[in-house]
Amino acid sequence: MARSRRLNADNDTGHIEYGRSDYDGDDDGIELYNTDDSIHMSTMTTHADQQPLLTGADADDDALRHPDDFAADDDDLPKHPQATSSTSSSPGWFVWLLTLSAGLSGLLFGYDTGVISATLVSIGSALSGRPLTSFDKSIITSSTSLLALIASPAASVLADARGRRRVIFAADALFVVGAVLQAVSSSVPVMVVGRSIVGAAVGAASFVVPLYIAEVAPAEHRGRLVTVNVLFVTLGQVAAYVLGWLLSEYGNPDTAWRWMVGLGAVPALLQAFLVLAMPESPRWLVKAGRAAEARAVIAQVQGAHDSASVGGILKQIEVEVRAEDEARRVRQQSRPTPSSASRTSKYLPRWLLVDGDTWAALMGSRRNRRALTIACLLQGLQQLCGFNSLMYFSATIFALVGFDQPTLTALTVAATNFVFTVAALLLVDRIGRRRVLLYSIPVMALGLVLTAYGFSFLDLGVGDGGDGTAPASKSPSSASLVLVSIMIYVGSYAIGLGNVPWMQSELFALNVRSLGSGLSTATNWGANFAVGLSFLPLMDALTPSWTFVLYAAVCVVGFFLVRACYPETSGLSLEEAASLLDADDWGISRRR
């Protein structure tokens, strides 16, 4: 069969389109031309002598076809992104098992966030033989975020090179070491080192677990299953507050805080054993050339009886991998000199390096740049709205406004977060990601403004030069207003910003999914570090009222940014969702 192949590399952005050639008769060819800065694919009619998309016993050897053929074949990929039809009313038991096993990382994340709140009010003079200062509290809290900031992009390299499961296992090992080191620490520096190791674990897990769940989950249930990971985060926070209260009330005052931080090693050990039995992500397996294993995992996820669905999903992944390989060849042919990664590779282990072509694909494609912009926007907004400052210092805040049992009061906030995350589990796929954010962010701003209003009636005595706080002159009505307002804020956060940003992986194409998700997760932890380090100083410098007004202003700005650039991705496969960003309006008008 005659075959044509035309390559035009006017720039190095790697745009490729597959289309029907101008040959007469029934000989179809592949045209590759570089006219834009994103990858577009269509498929062509099948010929017996065409090469399979991937080699291997179970690689799908259906050839690429022309876009017009899609209308006549319901089993093939849709011509335009649209909601994937549901094959079942709920995910199967195997999907739930994988999600719950992976979600234990969320439990660790939430436990660490919540336990430090109770620890800070229980630790007394156990570290360095003196009470903790405001700076001590800030650095102990924010050191976790700083190492998470570093670990999340590094984990993205490991996740691509070694697989998602191995990164989860490594995170568990780090968490055990960090928890034990915190429990035996006798000085602030040692405590900070332990918190930093835990931060590296949490940073890696917070990136890779949502990615793993998104790549395993059926499209119609993906939002719900990623939200399960966030539900585990809130459950971990509730568990931390309950244990913190029980140990502070009934435990030995000198050792209670050590048990609080040390018990975090238990779920990490449990997950480490479960990970050994979990399969690898089918998308990573296809990318690694292990199509037979990928087919087996997809069959377990979709149900072995649904062979047509299994084949269609595998074909969709393989087509994307084929297109990415072609895009990489285009970039390499148009670049006369070796990349910096290639020059450096002889000095470092290969798995430590991000392929220069991956960076080029992420930053050189308009679609991928937009995906990174949206993901970083949502992750930054999730932290800059001030939520984790409440979780880190909630017991400190409630002691400040005059509650007699601040840790128990903080438990009501964690419980609110958990309950409304359950609501998000039911709503995020039904209402959609974009609408959930646009409905919930204004309520967050309202809750923050009411919190600021409540603080304005309290005589806080802030600025004593010691720990940054002093007991308030008691005003039960104002203290209650602060509590209720914070619960309004936390509830609306849990429905929207608490979970939607972690669906970031559905914005990226497969070849940049790990790197893009890692960078956006690093944005989350960078903002988390800034908020954790600055919260108590802001309370001193601006007063609590103006601090919460500042967070409300962030929410207002975030609302308009989300409205302008975040398209609806619910119900789409990962490949379909990523293609939305090719539109001039970022896909907003195509799926509102």
CATH of residue 177's domain is 1.20.1250.20
Give a yes or no: residue 547 inside a domain: yes
- Structural domain harbouring 224: 91-278
Q: Of 278, 295, 319, which residue constitutes the final position of a domain?
A: 278
Q: Is residue 49 part of a domain?
A: no
Cα–Cα distance measured from residue 258 to residue 186, given in angstroms and rounded to the nearest whole number: 10
Q: Are 122 and 252 in contact (CB under 8 A)?
A: no
Q: Is position 346 within any domain? A: no
Is the domain of 270 the same as that of 360? no
Domain membership flag for residue 503: yes
Q: How far apart are CA 320 and CA 326, in angstroms?
A: 10
pLDDT of residue 346: 47
Nearest to 576 by CA among 184, 39, 84, 248: 84
What is the C-alpha separation between 115 and 244, in angstroms, rounded?
A: 7
Residue 532 carries which side chain, given as an amino acid letter? G
- Residue 331 near residue 361, CB atoms below 8 Å: yes
Residue 283: inside a domain = no
Residues 6+ apart with CB under 8 A from 465: none
CA separation, residue 126 to residues 119, 130, 132, 255, 256 (Å): 11, 7, 9, 9, 11
Q: Does the residue 348 lie in any domain?
A: no
Give me 382's structure tokens.
């999730």
Domain boundary among 278, 299, 328: 278
Claim to verify: residue 376 and residue 274 sit in the same structural domain: no
The reported pLDDT for the residue numbered 460 is 60
Check residue 69 and give its pLDDT: 41
Question: Domain boundary at 278, 299, 319, which?
Answer: 278
What's the total number of domains in the chain? 2
Chunked in runs of 10, what are the mean pLDDT values of the chain (592 residues)?
39 38 38 40 38 40 38 41 47 76 84 82 79 83 85 83 89 94 91 92 85 79 77 87 84 85 90 88 85 85 68 80 71 55 46 57 82 93 89 79 80 88 83 90 95 80 45 68 92 92 83 83 88 84 89 96 88 73 70 54
The HSE-up count of residue 437 (CA atoms within 13 Å, CB side) is: 31
Letter string b/e over residues 470-506, b meaning 16 or more CB atoms within 10 A of that residue's CB:
eebeebeebbebbbebbbbbbbbbbbbbbbbbbbbbb
264 and 358 together in one domain: no
Give Cβ neighbours of residue 248 (< 8 Å, ≥ 6 apart).
118, 121, 122, 256, 407
Q: Could you tell me if 542 and 413 lie in one domain?
A: yes
User: Which amino acid is residue 29, in one-letter code?
Assistant: G
Q: Are residues 415 and 536 in the same domain?
A: yes
Q: Which residue has the tokens 């993901």?
A: 375
SS3 readout for 101-145: HHHHHHHHHHHHHHHHHHHHHHCCCCCCCCCCCHHHHHHHHHHHH
Cα distances from 227 to residues 211, 387, 501, 503, in angstroms, run: 12, 17, 10, 8
Same domain, 262 and 373: no
Q: Angle of helix 307-333 relative to helix 356-364, nearest 10 degrees? A: 100
Question: Within this chain, do residues 257 and 366 fall inside the same structural domain, yes or no?
Answer: no
Around 332, how many Cα atoms within 13 Å sit in the side-chain half-sphere? Answer: 12
| Residue 61 in domain | no
In this structure, what token pair is assigned to residue 224? 């719900």
Sequence-distant (6+) residues with CB within 8 A of 24 are: none
Clarify whether residues 271 and 360 are in a common domain: no
Picking from 326, 315, 327, the residue whose alpha carbon sits closest to that of residue 286 is 315
Contact 539, 462 (CB under 8 A): yes
CA angle, 386 then 390 then 395, to 5°: 165
- Looking at the structure, do residues 114 and 228 belong to the same domain, yes or no? yes
**pTM assigned to the model:** 0.66
Same domain, yes or no: 451 and 579? yes
The pLDDT of residue 402 is 77
pLDDT of residue 360: 74
| 410 and 539 housed in the same domain | yes
